[in-house]
Amino acid sequence: MKAAMIFPGQGSQYVGMGKDLVERFPRVRDLYNSADDVLGFSISGMCFEGDQEVLKETRNAQPAILLHSIAAERVLKEEAGIEPTIVAGHSLGEYSALVAAGVLSWVDALRIVRRRGELMYDAGLEQPGSMAAVIGQDRTSVEEICGICSVDEEIVVVANINSPGQIVISGHRGAVERAMGVAGERGAKKVVRLNVSGAFHSPLVAGAQKELVDYINTFDIRDAGVGVISNAGASVVRSREEIVEALSRQLTSPVLWSDSMSVLNREWKERIIEVGPGRVLKGLMRRIERDRDVETAGTAGELEKLIEAELEIV
C-alpha cells in the first residue's frame, strides 16, 4: 500500500509521547533504547515521564519529535505494509521525511536534529528574538506589516505560511511587538505570541544555519527513494545536491507549508497520513484543501486502527 506521509514539527511534543508505542510494539522499545545510547542521555525517559519545560526546549523537543515520528513510520511499514510515495515535513519534520525517503539513516538524523536544536537554542541566547502567529491576514498583508515594523535595525519577517490566513512572523522582539500591534489594528482575527526561544526562520539564526550545514555535510546523504517536498522551495527534490541545497536554506527561509501542501495535492490524489505526534498538519490541511482527508498515525490506537484496516484489505 502507498501513501503520502507528512511529518510534524516543533510544538507537537508532550510528556508521555511514544510511551504507548513502546508498550504496544516491541521493536519500538529497541529504537528508543538505541536512541538513548546514541544521544548519551535518556531521551526515552524525557519523552515518557519527563518535565514539560525541559522537553519543550528546542534542543530536546527536536530529537524527541523525530524519534516518535520515525517509530510510527517504522510501524506503518513493518506492521501495516504502508510505504511512502511522496513525503514532506514541517520544518524539523523535514528530517523525519528524509529518513522515510531513504536519504538519511535514523541515527544520523537523530544526531543532526539534536545538533540543530542546540544551535537554534544558542542562537536564541545570542540574538534574542520572538515569533507570533497572525490569524486572518493573507501573506501579502503580513509582509507589508513586517516591512513597516522593521525599523531601527530591528527586523521582523514572515517565517511560516502554514495555511491561507495563518502566517507566523519572526524577528527582534521589538519589531515583532510592533507587528503584532499593527496586525491587530488592521483587522487580524487573532495575534498570538509563540512560546519559543528564538527568532527561527529569520536572518537572526544565520550563524546557526552555516554551522548546521557544515555539520550535515559530514554525514552520508543519499538521493531520495521518493519525492521530498522541501520547505524552502515548496518543490519536489530527489538528488543529494538538491536536498543539501534545500537544507542549507531551511533554517532562515520561511516554511512554505501551504504551498508545499498544494504541490502534494497536485502530485498525489490518494491517501495522506500524518506520521508522528499530534494532529496539527491534519488541521492545517483542512484550511488548505478542505476536501483532502488526512489520517493520523501518532498513537498506538491510531496505528492499530491502520494496521487492522490493512489486514482486512489483504
Q: Taking Cα atoms as reference points, which of 196, 42, 217 lies closest to residue 115?
A: 217
- How crowded is residue 117: how many other Cβ atoms within 10 Å of its Cβ? 23
CA angle, residues 175, 163, 172, in degrees to nearest 5: 15
Three-state secondary-structure class, residue 14 = coil
Neighbours of 97 (CB within 10 A): 29
Q: Out of 91, 197, 258, 260, which one is annotated catalytic?
A: 91
- Single out the residue of 76, 79, 93 nearest to residue 271, CA to CA: 76
Which of 33, 14, 44 minimizes the C-alpha distance to 276?
14
- Extract the C-alpha cell encoding 227: 519525492
Q: Which helix (H) or strand (E) holds 197?
A: none
The C-alpha atoms of residue 171 and residue 184 are separated, in whole angstroms, by: 18
Helix orientation angle between 26-39 and 106-126, rounded to the nearest 10 degrees: 50
Q: How far is Cα 220 from Cα 235, in angstroms, rounded to an integer?
A: 23
Active site residue 91: yes
Residue 51, number of CB atoms within 10 A of its CB: 11
Active-site annotation holds for 201:
yes
Query: What percentage of the chain's residues is helix, strand, coil (to nearest 5)?
Result: 55, 15, 30
Candidates 68, 90, 172, 201; catalytic one: 201
Burial class (CB in 10 A: 0-12, 13-18, 19+), 149: buried
Which residues are designated catalytic? Answer: 91, 201
